[in-house]
Amino acid sequence: MTKTVTTTPYTDQKPGTSGLRKKVPVFQQQNYAENFIQSIFDSLEGFAGKTLVIGGDGRFYNREVIQIAIKMAAANGFGRVLVGRGGILSTPAASHVIRKYEAFGGIVLSASHNPGGPTEDFGIKYNIGNGGPAPEKVTDAIYAHTKTITTYKIADVADVNLDAEGEQDVAGMTVQVINPVSDYAELMETLFDFPAIRAHLAGGFRIVFDAMSAVTGPYAKEILENRLGAAKGSVLNFVPLPDFGGHHPDPNLVHARALYEEMMGDDAPDFGAASDGDGDRNLIIGKGIFVTPSDSLAMLAANATLAPGYAKGLAGIARSMPTSGAADRVAEKLGIGIYETPTGWKFFGNLLDAGLATICGEESAGTGSSHVREKDGLWAVLLWLNILAVRKESVIDIAREHWTTYGRNYYSRHDYEEVDSAAANGLMDALRAQLGTLPGRKLGDLVIETADDFSYHDPVDQSVSNNQGIRILFVGGSRVVFRLSGTGTSGATLRVYIERFEPDAAKHDVDTQVALADLIEAADTLAGIKERTGRTEPTVIT
């Protein structure tokens, strides 16, 4: 019933920021998925008879790889698999299920905000027992195994019926197909004041949520419409589709443009939001105002005690290094810790487990808290709704009051996608080579104060992560950050982060790109972006 299959290694299975991501045709190569899954199991110890959680975002090839993973889990000695009905589990829901049922770990099948379809993106990520992404020591071990693998084990049995909740036997291992939404929805009810939100919605407060034909649809439909009473039709594109309806499931101002335009209209709803492919990112737009992810993190942290789950206060706030310093000012005022980590949610896990941080966020539209060990798009939406229900103010009023209190961090990210990898690496190498000579250099009215390649020293396990992004800090608090993203599947994505702190409330209504114009020009001058990439403008500006 269990067979051992001979295989040969692939050389390109190094996990990135969030697991292994490649185009679907790459994963469809003979034994490609099997090799990586076996390498995950070969990197782990002590899982015999234990529980494994498996689920994904419903993208193309999701069901096929789930069948493979279930059969391989049985052959490798797991005692139980929990899998979402239809193969569906949002990334934050998978994290919660791992934690609630004390599973050994989980395999999450997603390429997050990347497109889906027969020629688009797919991904496999392993999450450890705390519900969070595997740390680098585990992903490094997985990669090492992929380079030497010679065999994999798989149960030679029929496919599991993923559409019927209940238990099935697979080669002596129990497979339990679970409702993918219920556990997560119940968790949200323990964190937020559902009666207050329900009353606010019943009083005429209008919302719109674009699930982008991705995994959050069933969750948003159940929570926002069924449990909170939002008007039917408030949740758009709520059926997860293998190709996300042909759209790019990234909740930003480019790919969720229709939502943005609706929220800027004369008869706009009071609150608009969207989530991404696997449900871990969020977009927040109030009537007449887009709230940047960096500002959203700061505003959520500043108001978190209005929600029952956070009424006792926050232990600390953690943010990725490229995320703006807006949250730092909130932490300072609250008298709590602030932690600056590399990009990648796995770096927040130790801080959360150690009780050092309660709320975490990344500028790339990811926000979350200690309730799970992943970023959580719908959680952020619900916390915003809880705050709005209690304060009974508009999003724009809350934002303006926040900026008046803390100052405004004008902030933008310029992405140059699918840049030639050699050109992108050459740009970063050239920047590193001149770091020592940059302090004191003038670029117009800007003066460089310091420049470095960010290194992170984990305060919990003392591990060190080097080369996490080049930071150029200017006199007065402005900065530019350069890094290459680890989430793409073609070429390289150069991300340039531009930030200016403005304490003067009289200057808080300037267009962001105008407010940052001199820093944008300085970034191009320092890195030679146009010259080295051949791009005259970014692919995406957020």
* Domain residue ranges of the chain, discontinuous segments joined by +: 2-179, 184-406, 408-541
Find the farthest-apart pair of alpha carbons in the chain and give their distance in angstroms, rounded. 72
Q: pLDDT at position 487, please?
A: 54
Pairing of strands 366-369, 337-341: unpaired
> Could you tell me the CATH superfamily of domain 184-406?
Alpha-D-Glucose-1,6-Bisphosphate, subunit A, domain 3 (3.40.120.10)
Helix (H, G, I), strand (E, B) or coil at 448: strand
Q: Is 371 left (phi over 0), alpha (psi -120 to 50) or beta?
A: alpha
What confidence tier does 128 reach under pLDDT thresholds 50, 70, 90? Answer: very high
Asked about 478 being catalytic, the answer comes back as no
Q: pLDDT at position 428, please?
A: 96
Among 22, 44, 241, 12, CA closest to 120: 22
Class of domain 408-541: alpha beta
Interhelix angle 32-42/62-76, nearest 10 degrees: 40
Question: Which of the 8 DSSP states describes residue 223?
Answer: I
What confidence tier does 542 reach under pLDDT thresholds 50, 70, 90? Answer: confident
Per-residue pLDDT of 321-357, as tens digits, reads 999 999 999 999 999 999 999 988 888 999 999 999 9
Helix (H, G, I), strand (E, B) or coil at 470: strand
Are 2-179 and 184-406 the same fold in CATH?
yes
Residue 514, C-beta contacts closer than 8 angstroms, at least 6 positions apart = none
Determine contact, residues 517/410, Cβ cutoff 8 Å. no
Q: pLDDT at position 486, please?
A: 59
Among 395, 396, 393, CA closest to 380: 395
**Architecture label for domain 2-179:** 3-Layer(aba) Sandwich (3.40)
Residue 225, C-beta contacts closer than 8 angstroms, at least 6 positions apart = 231, 232, 234, 235
Angle at 281 (CA atoms; ends 126, 470), nearest 5 degrees: 80
Q: pLDDT at position 176, please?
A: 98
Per-residue pLDDT of 476-492, as tens digits, reads 889 999 999 855 556 79
CA 49 from chain centre, in angstroms, equals: 31
**Active site residue: 43, 110, 112, 296, which one?**
112
Per-residue pLDDT of 506-536, as tens digits, reads 999 999 999 999 999 999 999 999 999 999 9
Integer Cα distance of 324 and 503 in angstroms: 14
The pTM (predicted TM-score) of the whole model is 0.94
Q: pLDDT at position 488, please?
A: 53
